[in-house]
Structure 1
Amino acid sequence: MYKVVIIDDEPIIVRGLEKTVKWESLGCVVAGTAGDGLEGLEVIRREKPDILISDISMPNMDGLSMIAALKSEFPDMEVTILTGFRDFDYAREAIRLGVCRFLLKPSKMEELDEALAAMLSNLKSNPAVIKHLLEDEAAEKEEENTEEVLDSAASSFIVKNALAYIEENYKERLKLADVADNVYVSQWHLSKLLNKYTGQNFSEILNNVRMEQAKTLLRNPSLRIGDIAEEVGFLDMAHFSRVFKKQVGISANEYRNTVLGSDK
């Protein structure tokens, strides 16, 4: 039996899909439902469904980021979006990220039937899904598919958003968990993606951003180095100094003197 998860912030739609569709005759079972995106992510990670039917216009949720997260972390999962959000460019991007069907509310039953038929056809022709159904090898399957997952359009989308979030929030006490939550993937998965696409881990990326900002601020002779350290997110001056010298090759004070001297 293929497992299905339904996510929508309108309970009547969730109940309607649960009761109206003859899931058993399709070889499916509704494994879980959720009323918002964050709860939905928890259900998906717990149940690891084969099929997802979800709205993407929900409170406190970036729909495209959620799609990218799901398709990157669960590449074999078939996704149909059911939404009232009418935007062609948005729909096109969702499909590029791996969505099977993008249906506008209110959708006709025929449209949903066609979407289900398409998703089931894709699942039945996917060797990884067939293997998963025949054998309980989820852990091995995840490892085998790592390279494929990391090279997807969805993964690239996630990394772009993660780097943008780091650029915008480098002054805060930023942790990998904060960035992962923002792009809707697990810390483990985001760490893999960052290493694959940038060749650096989270700490290296964050420190690079902070040091570039520090070098810019050091050009202002009126700013004390301690103030600059705090401005770029370091609470400990000694820690800032160690990181700066490791990244740049000279101390912050030497860098300032070199730069200011060359500007004269």
Structure 2
Amino acid sequence: MLRIIIADDELPIREWLNYCLKDKKDSLEIVGIASDGLQAHELALKEKPDVVIIDIRMPKMDGITAMKNIKKVLPQTEFVILTNYADFSYAKQAISCGAKEYILKSELRSSELIEILAKIEEDRYTHRDRQGIFSHLERTAKNTLTEYSGDHYENHKFIEGALNYIHEHYNEAISLADVASQVYRSPEYFSRLFKEVTGENFSIYLINYRLMQAKILLTRTNLKITEISFRVGYQNPSYFSRLYKKYMGITPEDERRKNGDKAK
């Protein structure tokens, strides 16, 4: 469930957004409504929302400033920016500062807003930050250290070492056999152990991790897509583009356009 704050200085907009989202109570929860940027900032720090839907121009603190201040404390919070045509350049600035999406108020539709929020929720689960796996592994390893034999604990430590190696060498032409050799296990045994501990096949994990790094480069740099392909371990840019579309649901070009149309 996404926890959401609505922030807009226009009462009709606040009421309309609340009306559109309240029927989605099984998947969305409105945890606060603000009428200015300062109030939005204070509410966010208190409620720690997953998403803030915020107007770009508000009294006391504008939307971009509020977003920047909130992200300093809550970097995982996503932002959907509301803007008018006159503020379009500000909207692009907001995207470059980390906003997930912007919507023109004159074109605001409940279906579009719901679709954006659904995509945010999907991204949070499907393309979650893999650093969380380390915490899971650490907790599991500590538990198994007291509950099982030393071999069971060592297996988890080997997989943690494998993940470290993948994260450091994902841009190279690494294979399951390469990583298995780094932790002194046979490829067959390592493959079974990797799936058992992480819940994913080695090849799928590597693809997802590479594509996550590609998304960061697509949305935060102006590197050419061909160069990004090389940097995340794919020497064939066409193959990279097909993989990105398959796993991320969008082409690299559209990903970049959606996030500010930075130069290719």
Q: State the TM-score, normalized to the length of structure 2.
A: 0.45
Larger-Rg structure = 1
